[in-house]
Structure 1
Amino acid sequence: MDRRWVGPDGYEIVPGLRDGRQVLRVCRQGQVVADCFSVAEVAAFVDLADLCEVVSLRPRRGFEAVG
């Protein structure tokens, strides 16, 4: 499942890999700003309290819309 968090001013945080290590990639308006190795590093760019996780709602298998 893809995970991502969005914040004010066009910030988006997505998991990524850098040199074989997991990072939190900070993007702003589609441009990569930084690859952070800790949540504390992410906090230097955006207030963590302002981040919202984006949840993808997918229909259940076998579920058919009534209409």
Structure 2
Amino acid sequence: MGIWLGPEGIEVEAIVRGDRPCLRVTRTIGRERTLVAYCADVTEVGEYVDLAELVAAEPSEPSGAGRAQA
């Protein structure tokens, strides 16, 4: 699955929830990671983050590392 990083600690991850694919949007501030939304498609993700600001995470990066800064 893919992970994209955005400004202000935003992370978008393609996951399977139950038996359906979705996009999980989270935000990390300090050491606290909070769920922002589960989205059915990219259009919904665009309600929470500017899609043009998302960058693909490097495959070797652990979740939450190397986030883009605003």
The TM-score, its normalising length taken from structure 2, stands at 0.72
The structure that is strand-richer by fraction is 2
Q: Report which of the two structures shows the higher radius of gyration computed on alpha carbons.
A: 1
Q: Which runs of 4+ in 1 moved over 2 A?
A: none
Per chain length, whose mean CA-contact separation is higher, i.e. which structure has more relative contact order (CA < 8 Å, sep 6+)?
2
For the aligned residues, what is the CA RMSD?
1.3
Q: Which amino acid aligns with 1:21?
A: R
Check if 1:22 corresponds to 2:21: yes
Task: Identify unmatched segments of 5+ residues in structure 2.
Answer: 61-70
Number of positions where the alignment pairs a residue of Structure 1 with one of Structure 2: 56
Q: Which amino acid aligns with 2:14?
A: P
Aligned to 1:65: none
Shift of 1:8: 0.3
Q: Which amino acid aligns with 1:11?
A: I
Task: Identify unmatched segments of 5+ residues in structure 1.
Answer: 58-67
